[in-house]
Amino acid sequence: MSSEILLVGSFTAEDNQLLKDVQNRLSLHTDSCVLLHREEYQFKLQAASAPGMTANTARYPMADGAPLRARRDLVTASTGANEWTLHTCQIANRMYKKATVRPFAAIPLQSGNALAFASALGYGLVKKSTRKGFLFSRGSTNISLYQMVESSPYANSAVWQLEVVHTVVVPPHTKNMQLPAASYIDNGVEFILSVAVIMKGLVDLVPPQT
H, E, C per residue of the chain: CEEEEEEEEEEECCCCHHHHHHHHHHHHCCCEEEEEEEEEEEEEECCCCCCCCCCCCCCCHHHCCCCEEEEEEHHHHCCCCCCEEEEEECCCCCCCCCCEEEEEEEEEECCCCHHHHHHHCCEEEEEEEEEEEEEEEECCEEEEEEEECCCCCCCCCCEEEEEEEEEEECCCCHHHCCCCHHHHHHHHHHHHHHHHHHCCCCCCCECCCC
Domain locations in the chain as residue ranges: 2-198
* pLDDT > 80? residue 30: yes
Confidence of residue 156 (pLDDT cuts 50, 70, 90): low
Q: pLDDT per residue over 6-27, tens digit each?
A: 999 999 988 789 999 999 999 9
Q: How much is the pLDDT for 191?
A: 95
What is the predicted pLDDT for the residue at 137?
97
CA-based nearest residue to 35, from 113, 118, 133, 104: 133
Q: Which residue has the higher pLDDT, 60 or 83?
A: 83
Model pLDDT, residue 7:
98
Q: How far apart are CA 43 and CA 93, in angstroms?
A: 22
Quick one: pLDDT at residue 15? 77
CA separation for the pair 156, 140 (Å, rounded) = 32
The 10 Å Cβ neighbour count of residue 78 is: 9
If pLDDT is split at 50, 70 and 90, which confidence band does 47 have?
low
pLDDT of residue 210: 63
User: Do the strands 84-89 and 68-73 form a parallel or antiparallel pair, or are they unpaired?
Assistant: antiparallel
Q: What is the pLDDT of residue 110?
A: 78
Domain 2-198 is in which class? mainly beta
Give the mean model confidence (pLDDT) for residues 141-154.
84
Question: What is the structure's pLDDT at 48?
Answer: 56
Q: Provide the 10 A C-beta neighbour count for residue 3.
A: 22
> CB count, 10 Å around CB of 81?
11
**87 vs 77: which has the higher pLDDT:** 87
Residues 109-131: tens digit of each pLDDT: 877 889 999 999 899 999 999 99
